[in-house]
Amino acid sequence: MDLSLNDDQIAILDTIDTLAKPYASPPMQDISFALTSEELDRELFDGGFLDIAFDPDLGAVSAALMIERLARLPYTVEAAASALIRPLIGADLPRPICLVEEGKGRRPVRFLRPGATMLVVGKAQVSAFTADADHIRIEDTLYGYPMATLVVDPAAAGAVPLDVSADELRTRWRVAIAAEGAGLLAAALASTAAHVTDRQQFGRPIATFQAVRHRLAEAQVRANGAYWLAMKAARTLDPGDAALAALHVQQSAGPAVYDFHQFLGAMGVTLEHPLHLWTYRLKALIGDLGGRGEQGIAAGAAIWG
């Protein structure tokens, strides 16, 4: 076993860091819930980064590492499904790649917009269609992602079955949730740690109060666990590993989000502070694929039968 990054992975992360540098902080005066960047999206796509998992030598771990790193940006891009799920369904379908569970069509879908590929993931079958303006209602999103809701039945929108295993797709979806969630947890934690270090009350940084320190330390333990579970699941693509990874992220996100905002006090309620750009994505991820209950059931079935 060797959990260190190999040379390819180091090179990919270095390039991603360089490419992402202009997006490392939100623009001044931004007051949006979801911060997107077409340029960042284009650079990732044109640079071939969203295709790295097609290369068997690089594989899903490299994709997961990239997704985790990108999730730390205040900007959100549709990288997770593109990088992890396109290797199953082929590179031809137009991006963004959007995911919804069959029968959950009323839930808002991340990145859904006209021209996107809508994947409808059923128990045994996956179908796809290209969304157009009539199929969707753009949401005034309450989450850190641009979102829209389907207003038509997938069949009526011309969804056609894909020749892929629904189980394999769900496994990759879980890896995507885990890798993105791990990056979001890490970034939100770092943002909170910076705030409590600067902010003084009672004549000392609030980071010196144990009530604050210990809850942040616990969040670090969880974020670190989430990172490693995500990477292992990306490596094995095992259904049990993937379900545990997604479960751990969804389980950890809830309390972490409230603690992080709590420790910012009223500043954490403003749109001026960027914290919500990470935490509101975490809030959205909590509900993916049926939430932690479904992840737990899937993990239980995969591990113990």
Looking at the Cβ atoms of 12 and 99, the one nearer to other proteins is 12
Q: Is residue 12 at the binding interface for other proteins, with CB under 8 A as the rule?
A: no
Q: Is residue 304 at the binding interface for other proteins, with CB under 8 A as the rule?
A: yes
Q: Is residue 213 at the binding interface for other proteins, with CB under 8 A as the rule?
A: yes
Q: Per-residue DSSP letters for 80-119?
A: HHHHHHHHHH-S-SPSSEEEEETT-TTS-EET--TTPEEE
Q: Are 49 and 17 in contact (CB under 8 A)?
A: no
Q: Could you give phi then psi for residue 93, rounded to 5 degrees?
A: -65, 140
> Contact with other proteins (CB under 8 A): which of 66, 175, 187, 196?
196
Q: Segment 32-61, which members bind other proteins (CB under 8 A)?
A: 61
Query: Coil, strand, or helix at residue 289?
Result: helix
**The one segment of 23-31, 78-86, 155-163, 203-211 that binds other proteins by CB under 8 A:** 203-211
- In sequence order, what are the residues at sequence separation of 6 or more whose Cβ sits closer than 8 angstroms to the Cβ of residue 24? 73, 74
The alpha carbon of residue 264 and the mean position of all alpha carbons in its chain are separated, in whole angstroms, by: 23
> Contact with other proteins (CB under 8 A): which of 16, 193, 257, 282?
193
Q: Is residue 13 at the binding interface for other proteins, with CB under 8 A as the rule?
A: no
Q: Is residue 197 at the binding interface for other proteins, with CB under 8 A as the rule?
A: yes
> Contact with other proteins (CB under 8 A): which of 104, 251, 273, 274?
251
Question: Rounded to whole angstroms, how far apart are CA atoms 97 and 70?
Answer: 17
Looking at the Cβ atoms of 135 and 248, the one nearer to other proteins is 248
**The one segment of 91-99, 226-234, 267-275, 280-288 that binds other proteins by CB under 8 A:** 226-234
Looking at the Cβ atoms of 76 and 279, the one nearer to other proteins is 279
Exposure class string for 59-69: b at 16+ Cβ within 10 A, else e:
bbbbbbbbbbb
Q: Which burial class, exposed, middle or buried, applies to 146 when counting CB atoms under 10 A from its CB (0-12, 13-18, 19+)?
A: buried
| Paired residues of 204 in beta bridges | 201
**The one segment of 87-95, 103-111, 117-125, 239-247 that binds other proteins by CB under 8 A:** 239-247
In angstroms, how far apart are the furthest CA atoms of the chain?
Answer: 64
115-118 — which CB contacts under 8 Å span 24+ positions? Answer: 117/93, 118/150, 118/154, 118/157, 118/159
Looking at the Cβ atoms of 105 and 287, the one nearer to other proteins is 287
By CB under 8 A, name the binding residues for other proteins: 1-6, 9, 61, 65, 189, 193, 196-197, 204-205, 207-210, 213-214, 216-218, 220-222, 224-226, 228-229, 231-232, 235-236, 241, 243-245, 247-248, 251, 292-293, 295-297, 299-301, 303-305
